[in-house]
Structure 1
Amino acid sequence: MREPPPLPDLPDLPEVLAGAHVVALPMVRRFRGVTVREALVVEGPLGWTEFSPFVEYDDEEAATWLAAAYDFGWGTDSSPQRSSIRVNATVPAVGAGDVASVLARYPGCRTAKVKVADPGQTLADDVARVAAVREVLGPEGRVRVDANGLWNVDEAEHAIRALEPYDLEYVEQPVATVEELAEVRRRVGRLGILIAADESVRKASDPLAVARAGAADVLIVKAQPLGGVARAAELAAEAGLPVVVSSALDTSIGLAMGAHLAAVLPELEFDCGLGTAALFAADVTAEPLLPQHGAIPVRRVAADPALLAAHAAPEERRRWWLERLERCHRLLAAAG
């Protein structure tokens, strides 16, 4: 794992711990095995910010997410070039009969990202789900699929060929490694389907390796896992590939960070994966960043004290998150 990015001035740790709120937000549907999303939010001088690495991540990886939180709350404010960001709908691994109700939560979205390769499901399930999405969106809609690296190369080729009739925009992380991505891209290139890399960017010791290897046509960039708005924008510029800014199942505070990242990029060819507040049954703000007319605004989000209290995590989980933040803070201090 790469070293966490150093920050010139870390905020005062006791101050951060004293102001931190840990929430447990229920999801509308299970998404990647998650039914309740835990997150830590805190207000810095620039506004509210978020620290929400997934619970299974180790401290070294999580420290990069903390660097992003500090940058957004205590760093230098960005200068957005856009006031709104077009976003895609996100379709979990639901049955085909549930697709229409899922897409209804994303008014005006012209693009849908569909989860495939979910453990316990079959390719036939994936095909039926993608077919249902295509039917709802119509021929002008854009359909992309995300396998989260769960296929091997042969499975990926077979699945992509089975899904090809539904006019895919791209396939996100069909396989796990950069070498496998390059092989899948070679095999399906003649179909005109693009390959996008997500985990091979945000979880890699060298996030630019996938671009240098010619293993992807599109990079998925996420503000928290890449260390913040400025750091992620710099990586996107160095990669020299089209990018899609996406969320990491953030609250609306974390989505605001992603929207600021999307807003500073000079080019934004694809709709972004920042409409995921629609996956939550509750949020930390009374004005969540829900998609409207296919887009979300670029603005900071303030937490609502009543909602923070209503969705406060149990005390043992709160302690777990505060201890995790403290360990990650010390890693950033050592890196600096």
Structure 2
Amino acid sequence: MIDPALSTVLSSASDPREVFDRIAVVSLPMVTRFRGITVREAMLLRGPAGWAEFSPFLEYVPAEASRWLLAALEYATNEVPTPLHDTVPVNGTVPACTPAEVPAVVARYDGVSTFKIKVAEHGLDSLPEDLARISAVRDAAPEALLRLDANGKYADLGQGQQALRAFAEFDLQYIEQPVMPVEGLAEIRAWIADEGLPLRIAADESIRKAEDPYRVAALGAADVVIVKVQPLGGVQAALRVVEGTGLPAVVSSALDTSVGLSAGTALAAALPGERLACGLGTSSLFESDVVTSPLRAHGGVLPVGRVAPEDALLTRFRAEPAREEHWRRRLGECWDVLRAEAGC
């Protein structure tokens, strides 16, 4: 459901250029492969309230990508909730890299005391290299809290159980989305309790990709929810999900530029209750960002506040014409989806 104020904006503008007075597409090189890519493309949009980001992953069809545009529309045209904090704690993110690469990745996160480690890149076949990577992070950051993220890549309950038994030897804060279906998460969590394993489950895809994100809580499928501003359709929508599930929340990035990360800090700063380290330190995975002082952790925290990209960097990292055209076409397609949803 689209907020009435945003429906009004959509109703008054048949073309997104009537709302956004500047539109830029950037292509940012990354320091390591992450989520199968080495370059991150993003569209940045300036509206009455400031700059926002629209960067759905390339495989997302308009129906799913339109949630990301709704988030950008909200952030570019509305003020954010009153922050409860001036800074937010963040975790470092360790991609599916080799153990030898781990120390350099860990060193990019100043003062961070929690690390999320990607696992299961090839499902259960990745288990030996996953265990080696976790051990390397433990060696590089002996006092840090560790989290794992499997992105739902274990094919079934049996694979998930086998991997989780191996992971239980580590002192983990939680493991994120070991299997994809929310019913599978509920089974995994019940099995963990029966086995008495020291593991907790976090739900990500079961929140941001589900038609009913509240089923996670209804089925008892998770101990923690992962919320991301863009996939959920904005800061307010994410706040409603957190409130509706009643579970501790970790605000995470969808591999955003610093513009998108600032929307994540706005969400994290508005959350009441327990403050868990957020997955908003992903600018460290970029060689360069759209500002000369990117939103990167200092002393383990990020500041709260909007970010405006710098013209020189928008020029330097401007996407090739064909890629600009691709993103402008996506923008139009998603705008049409939102207008139809708003009854325009």
TM-score of the superposed pair, with normalisation by structure 2: 0.93
Please state how far the C-alpha of 1:334 moved relative to its aligned partner. Answer: 1.6
1:264 maps to 2:270 = yes
The 10-residue stretch of structure 1 (187-196 or 302-311) with the greater mean CA deviation from structure 2: 187-196
- Deviation string 1:14-43 (CA, Å, 9 cap, x unpaired) is 235662100111111000101111100011
Please state how far the C-alpha of 1:292 moved relative to its aligned partner. Answer: 0.7
Q: Distance in 1 between matches of 2:294 and 2:104?
A: 20
1:132 maps to 2:131 = no
1:252 maps to 2:258 = yes
Corresponding position of 1:171: 175
Please state how far the C-alpha of 1:319 moved relative to its aligned partner. Answer: 0.9
Q: Distance in 1 between matches of 2:270 and 2:238?
A: 10
1:218 maps to 2:217 = no
The 10-residue stretch of structure 1 (232-241 or 3-12) with the greater mean CA deviation from structure 2: 3-12
Corresponding position of 1:306: 312
Please state how far the C-alpha of 1:5 moved relative to its aligned partner. Answer: 6.3
Aligned AA (2:333) = R
Q: Distance in 2 between matches of 1:34 and 1:268?
A: 33
Q: Percent identity?
A: 48
Q: Distance in 2 between matches of 1:45 and 1:268?
A: 33
1:204 maps to 2:203 = no
Q: How many residues align?
A: 333
Flag structure 2 segments of 5+ consecutive residues without an equivalent. none
Q: Distance in 1 between matches of 2:85 and 2:248?
A: 17
Q: Distance in 1 between matches of 2:317 and 2:114?
A: 31
Q: Distance in 1 between matches of 2:33 and 2:126?
A: 17
Please state how far the C-alpha of 1:305 moved relative to its aligned partner. Answer: 0.5
Equivalent of 1:109, from 109, 112, 129?
A: 112
Corresponding position of 2:78: 75
Query: RMSD between aligned alpha carbons?
Result: 1.5
Corresponding position of 1:320: 326
Aligned AA (2:127) = L
Corresponding position of 1:287: 293
Q: Distance in 1 between matches of 2:38 and 2:204?
A: 22
Moved over 3 A (4+): 3-6, 15-18
Q: Is the 8 A contact 1:53 1:62 kept in 2?
A: yes
Flag structure 1 segments of 5+ consecutive residues without an equivalent. none
Corresponding position of 2:339: 333
Q: Is the 8 A contact 1:156 1:174 kept in 2?
A: yes
1:278 maps to 2:268 = no
Q: Distance in 2 between matches of 1:282 and 1:41?
A: 15
TM-score of the superposed pair, with normalisation by structure 1: 0.96
Q: Is the 8 A contact 1:90 1:276 kept in 2?
A: yes
Corresponding position of 1:32: 35
